[in-house]
Amino acid sequence: MTPMKIAFLTPEYPHERVGHSGGIGTSIKHLALALVKQGHSISLLIYGQREDAVFETDGITFYLIKNRKLKGLSWWLTRQKIERLINTLHSEDKIDIVEVPDWTGISSFINANCPLIIRQNGSDTYFCHLDARPVKAINKFHEKKALQSADAILSVSQFTGDLTNSLFGLNREFKVIPNGITLTDFDCSNAVEKTTLKPTILYFGTLIRKKGLLELPLIFNAVHAHFPEAQLVLIGKDSPDIKTESASTWNIMHPLFTESAREQVLYKGAMPYSDMRKHIERATICVFPTFAEALPVSWLEAMALKRPVVASNVGWAKDIIDNGVNGYLVHPTDHSKYSKYIVRLLNNPDERLKMGETARQKIETHFSAEIVAAQSVAFYQTYLDK
């Protein structure tokens, strides 16, 4: 297949010159690096930056975009700036196609001279619905407009695509291509269980209500009652809580632990993405009691490193985990059942080993970045051919 020139428009990416990055940025990085390896030319158009700049790293061209600021017109001026950049790069034969996330509908009112593809990793409307809170009208307006005007739509899970259509009253066709991860970054061919002396339960990700962080203390209290030596380790950026208007989700979590359980909790805060692997490898079990995801990369990373996972059973989860085979799925509010799965795994090293092996196999066959990249290129090609 002829090499393509692919651009990703994104608000985030894990790079020291870009700043904080979440799941969208991580998923783009895995995909972009796989595409470079397959011979394609990749550009990243990263808005919301402190400066306008162009540089190259890992064979990828970065275009940092500083948002335009003018009261009442910032969104429009920034979109016009992005549109000019896309069309200039296209006219200079530097990009053939641009992929955009659905988050806050950044591509609404952008008239690109090349095909524009939206990949659904979860819009603000989508996450607000799953988190049972109201969405900002302006965000929902732009997200719907962007979906309506896109040349084509990808979704990282069937659940996300179906729910997005329902929430916006749309009937748009979409192709399901999941997020993927770079398997060479998670090579564990010579790995053994590198658990610490204490049995360790690891959560990594943002500390926020929608990811079940207010359920986790109650789950761990129940685990602690049966397995008092187990330690809960939390790694990730703290965040404000919209419902209570608290500046810190961690501050809300803290009093939810029993006094005894709290002594076994270690919150390490945010850390560089490059440091995460060693902490995952040291974990006995990884837990993700979330209410709102699309197809979380963190689950894939834990499974790739052969960690047994106890995760939420909401919506997208069955696209990743076969319950009881390569992980356990349970609703985050069922604290008793959730804790029983954790205790069961803590008490059964043979089951942990078997579950970790089958988890790795699932990642290799379904969620390799190389597979996802090839699927994405085949999809892009249908629109370039048109």
pLDDT at site 195: 47
* Residue 172: burial class (beta carbons within 10 Å; 0-12, 13-18, 19+): middle
What DSSP state is assigned to residue 368? B
pLDDT of residue 235: 96
51 and 194 fall within a common domain: no
- Provide the residue count of the chain: 386
Q: Are residues 220 and 117 in the same domain?
A: no
CA angle 124, 44, 297 (to 5 degrees): 50
Report CA 31 to chain centroid distance, whole Å: 12
The whole-angstrom separation of Cα 180 and Cα 216 is 27
Together in a domain, 196 and 164: no
Note whether 114 and 58 are same-domain residues. yes
Q: How many domains does the chain have?
A: 2
On whether both 258 and 350 belong to a single domain, the answer is: yes
Please classify residue 55 by burial: count the beta carbons closer than 10 Å to its beta carbon, then call 0-12 exposed, 13-18 middle and 19+ buried: exposed
| 201 shares its domain with 102 | no
Work out whether the CA dihedral 182, 183, 184, 188 comes out positive or negative.
positive
- pLDDT score recorded for residue 283: 96
User: Rounded CA gap, 382 and 386, in Å?
Assistant: 7
Domain that holds residue 331: 183-366
pLDDT for 99: 98
How many whole angstroms separate alpha carbon 147 and alpha carbon 164? 10
pLDDT tens digits for the chain (386 residues)? 689 999 999 999 999 899 777 789 989 999 999 999 999 999 999 999 999 999 999 999 999 999 988 887 888 999 999 999 999 999 999 999 999 999 999 999 999 999 999 999 999 999 999 988 899 999 999 999 999 999 999 999 999 999 999 999 999 999 999 999 999 988 876 555 554 468 999 999 999 999 999 999 999 999 999 999 999 999 999 999 988 899 999 999 999 999 999 999 999 998 887 788 999 999 999 999 999 999 999 999 999 999 999 999 998 899 999 999 999 999 999 999 999 999 999 999 999 999 999 999 999 999 999 999 999 999 999 988 87
27 and 102 share a domain?
A: yes
Instruction: Look at residue 263 and give its three-state secondary structure.
Output: coil
Output the six-digit token pair for 330: 């349970």
Domain co-membership, 103 together with 212: no
Give how far Cα 178 sits from Cα of 279, 296, 357, 366, 380, Å. 25, 10, 21, 8, 15
Asked if 163 and 192 sit in the same domain, the reply is no
Does 117 lie in the same domain as 235?
A: no
Q: What's the token pair of residue 53?
A: 């700049």
Q: What 3 state SS string does 82-148 have? A: HHHHHHHHHHCCCCCEEEEECHHHCCCCCCCCCCEEEEECCCHHHHHHHCCCCCCHHHHHHHHHHHH
Residue 189 has a pLDDT of 64
User: Do 18 and 149 share a structural domain?
Assistant: yes
Verify that 108 and 75 share a domain, yes or no.
Answer: yes
CATH number of the domain enclosing 133 = 3.40.50.2000
